[in-house]
Amino acid sequence: MPSIMKLEEIAEKERCAGHRQKFLTLQKEIEVKKQEEVLAKHKAYLEQVKKEFKIGSYIPELQGTVKEIKDGCGTQRGWIEVYLSGREKALSPSDIHKKIAETKALKESNERFNKIKLSDSKKAIRIGENYPETLDDLVRVMCLDLPDSETIFDWNLDSFSETYSYALKQAKEEGYTDEESEEKAQEAEAEARDEDFDKYQESIIRTLNYLLNLHGLRLEEKKGYYYISLAVKSWHEVADKVASTISGYGTFEYESGKQLKEIGPYKSYCEAVCKHIHWLKYYPEVYGNTNYRRVYER
């Protein structure tokens, strides 16, 4: 049985030869084959999803049990929806994979953050090496709605590819050999990646410092490491600010940083602050300041 590509070749020959009716008949056959191919791919993917997310199985990262899987297939593509207990809205398999990956990443970030040595005697705590992953960890433990470095890279893959193609074309037009043109294209792509990442990292650090500064802290880079440093006299003072933010949000009530520390109970004000660092994002909402997302998007 001829493939779709072969049928398209035959149809084109018939069209060029003026055999319109044969061409139209072949076009209908091609369309049917394409739909059959789409349906076959959809069914194969559906079986894969059903095996991965069996009805009644529990997904710990999403804290839900698979209740039902619905699907459908059109002429262009199919769709699959997975319904979990405790959720009204269905999720696509790709959404589930993404949420599982995010949950695992958050767990790993928290584990690394919890290993940081905390003490009121320290004016700065070292949170990790000067790598993008350290900032990713801090963004996650602060529960900020910001993209991580890997996501930014994925978002810009098409842009990097366009830069490469354009530079390659330009180099060839200027008379460079294929090897020289490819080298120049790679350099242009690398430069675009570096420039894009520098802008992203600058935005992330600016946003983190915006929220930290509001609570008497600052993010600093020293000798290849990132530190969260005091911008006020003591961790006690920072704990007072954090307690104020939490109380202002309204979920919990703390009279002071001292109460925040004692209720833990925590060994230090520094520990009390770090264990509640995910509350810092609510300061703008409580006191009417600029939302941190807007600070990032500048």
**Mean pLDDT of all residues in 203-217:** 97
Kindly report each contact of residues 38-42 with a partner whose C-beta sits within 8 Å and lies 24 or more positions away, as own/partner: 38/73, 38/74, 38/75, 38/76, 38/77, 38/78, 39/73, 39/78, 41/78, 42/71, 42/73, 42/77, 42/78
Contact by Cβ (8 Å): 240, 248: no
- Strand duo 217-222 + 124-129: pairing: unpaired
pLDDT at 158: 80
Q: Cis (ω within 30 of 0) for the bond into 265?
A: yes
Q: Is residue 111 part of a domain?
A: no
Q: 140-177, pLDDT tens digit by residue?
A: 999 999 999 888 888 777 888 888 888 888 888 999 89
Q: Is residue 167 part of a domain?
A: no
- Beta bridge partners, 124, equal 229
Q: How many folded domains does the chain comprise? A: 2
How far apart are alpha carbons 193 and 200 in whole angstroms? Answer: 11
* Res 110 pLDDT > 90: yes
134 and 46 in a single domain? The answer is no
pTM of the prediction?
0.81
Tell me the average pLDDT of the chain. Answer: 93
Spatial CA neighbour of 135 closest among 198, 196, 195: 198
Q: Is residue 26 part of a domain?
A: yes
* Res 208 pLDDT > 80: yes
Instruction: Match 């079986």 to its residue by tokens.
Output: 47
198 and 245 in a single domain? The answer is yes
56 and 194 in a single domain? The answer is no
pLDDT at 193: 86
Q: Is residue 181 part of a domain?
A: no
Parent domain of 120: 116-148+190-297
pLDDT at 96: 96
Q: 18-77, pLDDT tens digit by residue?
A: 999 999 999 999 999 999 999 999 999 999 999 999 999 999 999 999 999 999 998 888
φ, ψ of residue 2 in degrees (nearest 5): -65, 145
Specify the amino acid at residue 240.
D
132 and 267 in a single domain? The answer is yes
195 and 52 in a single domain? The answer is no
